[in-house]
């Protein structure tokens, strides 16, 4: 998910910034009521965990690598708004401090992973007939990784159609969806499985301590 600058055309990242700005404004509303002396330390710890997970690259088949996200844990413990804001901060710090992802990719990643990923996780644990079951946790965490991966793969895959030079060469990401989709989505099926196991372990720990209400 660490997309460098120069891979996404302005025709995509500028509208994405407009959408993300509206989503960030929505997320900020009502957050102050959620932040108390118990929530802030937990949020800081889990956000730091997500930050570290994003810097630990896992080798994947085919010579590529990927990383866990932590968005499912954030959403499970703190809801969509706080998870979205926390993961945006993770992406911003990774981009500024380590060059892990570009500023132009920030709104795309924030919307796909931070907002959609968190929404999918919360929808899973609240939408199934029995809330907070192991099945709901595993399904939600898996989809919170794979659906954003699919969205980002589609965004990258359409870049050659959006901006080309006079001789027809892509100006930004050079590969179409026929390459981008399997290259990104298939490895994230494995990452989603690992993320699901991690989220399930955190859920059991949080349940024992009554953090889930």
C-alpha distance from residue 89 to each of 84, 97, 155 (Å)? 9, 12, 22
Structure confidence at residue 98 as a pLDDT band (50, 70, 90)? confident
pLDDT, tens digit (0-9, with 9 covering 90-100), for 13-72:
999 999 999 999 999 987 877 788 888 999 999 999 999 998 887 776 655 567 899 999
pTM over 0.85: yes
Smallest CA-to-CA distance from 50 within 65, 72, 79, 31 is with 72
**Class of the CATH-defined domain 20-26+36-208:** mainly alpha
Q: Phi and psi of 101, rounded to 5°? A: 100, 145
pLDDT, tens digit (0-9, with 9 covering 90-100), for 170-201:
999 999 999 999 999 999 999 999 999 999 99
Specify which residues 164 forms β-bridges with.
170
CB 112 within 8 A of CB 96: no
Q: What is the pLDDT of residue 126?
A: 84
CA–CA distance, 108 with 31 (Å, rounded to integer): 22
């Amino acid at each position: 998910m660490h997309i460098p600058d120069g891979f996404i055309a302005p025709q995509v990242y500028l509208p994405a910034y407009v959408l993300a700005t509206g989503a960030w404004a929505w997320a900020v509303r009502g957050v102050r009521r959620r932040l108390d002396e118990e929530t802030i330390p937990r949020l800081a710890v889990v956000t730091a965990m997500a930050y570290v997970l994003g810097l630990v690259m896992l080798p994947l088949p085919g010579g590529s690598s990927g990383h866990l996200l932590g968005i499912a844990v954030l959403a499970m413990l703190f809801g969509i708004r706080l998870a979205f804001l926390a993961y945006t901060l993770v992406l911003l710090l990774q981009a500024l401090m380590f060059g892990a992802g570009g500023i132009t990719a920030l709104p795309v990643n924030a919307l796909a992973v931070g907002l959609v990923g968190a929404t999918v996780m919360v929808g899973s644990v609240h939408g199934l007939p029995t809330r907070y079951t192991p099945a709901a946790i595993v399904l939600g965490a898996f989809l919170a990784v794979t659906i954003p991966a699919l969205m980002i793969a589609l965004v990258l895959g359409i870049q050659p159609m959006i901006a080309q030079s006079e001789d027809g060469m892509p100006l930004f990401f050079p590969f179409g969806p026929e390459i981008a989709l399997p290259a990104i989505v298939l490895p994230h099926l494995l990452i989603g499985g690992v993320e699901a196991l991690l989220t399930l372990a955190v859920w059991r720990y949080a349940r024992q301590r009554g953090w889930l209400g």
